Amino acid sequence: MAPARAEILARAEAAYLGLALGDALGATVEFMTPREIAREFGVHRDITGGGWLRLKPGRVTDDTTMSLALGEAIINDRGEVRALSCARAFDAWMRAKPVDIGNTVRRNLVAFRRSGDPEAPPSEQDAGNGAAMRVLPVALASFGRPEAEVRVCVRAQAHVTHHNAMSDAACEFLALALQDFLRGDSLREVFLRRVQPLVTAHPAFAFRGRPRREYPSGWVVETLQAVLQSFIDVGGFESCLVDVVNRGGDADTTGAIAGMLCGALYGMAALPPRWLKALDPKVRAACSDQARSLLGPC
Ligand SMILES: [Mg+2]
């Protein structure tokens, strides 16, 4: 039996809050090595702000704010994912001087300002995690549509800044896995239906039989390896997020991606109350509101 909308909505809201919580948790230790984190925090497990961005406790970074900018554009387009609207929303987001911005995002948004073309040129180099980190609003807006349509929506938003096959593979995998979890599918089902085919099609993403991926870079392959090792082989909402951000490196983004997956799988009850309390209340409200609007009547 298909789950009721209320159940799907609760998992969607947990995914959006999970993204923000993982971002806020990880930002403190972004660009640190596991050894540096251990020396300073023992285990980093609380939302305390700081880090290289000197964030106030509970503040989030580009992972969450770009997702919210994208979500707003999709809501304004009544649930459609239009590349031009996405590009304009990201451009407005960049003009508002965000706390941080990735190099690929900046370069291709500057190119959009000049050309007016919302699709970045294909690039072997643009395999960063910047499109994957903000895929959640598209997964929510395209929930219930045929898989081929979901993939088209995912690429429309991704190609504004990242026109790259590995980025596409990661973004499509994440959106489809998130939708499976919203429907109530188990981790085992999603492992067989989404994770294994991803690794078969793109062996670079293999995360088992390899050393623990520590200090993951912004390369989407390393990002996803770290996330999958924590999400599948550690599990649990809090334990997964703590495990992934304590690897350091691009910890706000590994936290954000792990957070959306964990939220969709484990639901609202799994979100640690102390983390929700620490999260910027405006961000918390925006995530909840957007989850509801993006999902629509479904
Ligand atoms: Mg960030």
Domain ranges (residues) in the chain: 5-295
Distance 178 CA to ligand 1 centre (A): 20
Distance 132 CA to ligand 1 centre (A): 12
The distance in angstroms from the start CA to the end CA of the chain is: 15
Distance 102 CA to ligand 1 centre (A): 8
At the fourth CATH level, which superfamily is domain 5-295?
ADP-ribosylation/Crystallin J1 (1.10.4080.10)
Distance 237 CA to ligand 1 centre (A): 20
Query: What's the burial of 264, exposed, middle or buried (CB within 10 Å: 0-12/13-18/19+)?
Result: buried
pLDDT band at 126 (very low <50, low <70, confident <90, very high): very high
Distance 298 CA to ligand 1 centre (A): 30
pLDDT (0 to 100) of residue 298: 64
Distance 112 CA to ligand 1 centre (A): 21
Residue 1 has pLDDT above 80, yes or no: no
Looking up tokens 């031009």 gives: 84
Tell me the pLDDT of the chain averaged across its residues: 97
Distance 61 CA to ligand 1 centre (A): 5
pTM of the model: 0.98
Distance 36 CA to ligand 1 centre (A): 19
Count of H-run helices and E-run strands, the chain: 15, 0
68, amino acid identity: L
